[in-house]
Structure 1
Amino acid sequence: MIRSDAARNRAKVLTAAEAVLGEQGLAARMDEIARRAGVGVGTLYRHFATKEVLYAAIVSARVDLLLEEAARLRTAAEPQAGFFTFFAQIVADAARKKTLTDALQGAGVDVKAEQADQRAQMREALADLLHAAQRVGAVRPDVGMSETLALLRGASMAAETGDYPGPVLDQALAVLFDGLRPSAASAESAQTA
Structure 2
Amino acid sequence: MNSHQDGSVAQPDSLVNADRPKSLRVDAQRNRARILDAAHAVFAAEGLSVRIEEIARHAGVGIGTVYRNFPTKELLFEAVIHRYQQKLVEEAESLLDFDDPGEAFFQYISRVIEEGAANKALTAAVSGTEIDMKAVATGISDQLLDVLSKLLECAQQSGSVRADIGAEQVKALIVGTLLAMEQSAGQADRSVVIVSVICDGLRARPD
Instruction: Note whether the superposition's TM-score is higher than 0.5.
Output: yes
- Report the 3-state secondary structure (helix = DSSP H, G, I; strand = E; otherwise coil) of the residue aligned with 2:185: coil
Total equivalences in the alignment = 184
Specify every segment of 5 or more residues in structure 1 that has no aligned partner in the other structure, as ranges.
187-193
1:11 equivalent in alignment to 2:29: no
CA shift in 2, pair 1:136/1:52, >3 Å: same
Q: Distance in 2 between matches of 1:144 and 1:157?
A: 20
1:65 equivalent in alignment to 2:87: yes
Residue deviations 1:95-148, cap 9 Å, x none?
A: 2444366489566x5212322212211111111000111111111223333542
The equivalent residue for 2:15 is none
Shift of 1:77: 2.9
The verdict on how the C-alpha distance between 1:24 and 1:116 changes in structure 2, with shifts beyond 3 A counting, is: closer
Equivalent position amino acid for 1:50 in 2 = T
The secondary structure found in structure 2 opposite 1:76 is coil
Measure the CA separation in 2 of the matches of 1:127 and 1:162: 29
The structure with the largest helix share of the pair is 1
Equivalent pairs: percent with the same residue?
38
1:121-180 per-position Cα deviation (integer Å, ceiling 9, x unaligned):
111111100011111111122333354233223212213343252222222221221222
TM-score normalised according to structure 2 size: 0.75
Contact kept? 1:94, 1:160, Cα under 8 Å: no
1:41 aligns with 2:98: no
Q: Distance in 2 between matches of 1:87 and 1:53?
A: 27
Q: Which has the larger radius of gyration?
A: 2
Partner residue of 1:85? 107
Letter in 2 for 1:87: I
- Equivalent residue in structure 2 for 1:167, among 189, 195, 199: 189
* Distance (Å, rounded) in 2 between the aligned partners of 1:30 and 1:166: 30
Which secondary structure state, in structure 1, belongs to the residue aligned with residue 147 of structure 2? helix
Secondary structure in structure 1 of the residue aligned to 2:34? helix
Distance 1:106 1:181 in 2: 32
SS in 2 for 1:74: coil
Distance 1:116 1:84, change over 3 A: same
Q: 2:164 aligns with which of 127, 134, 142?
A: 142
Root mean square deviation of aligned Cα: 2.6
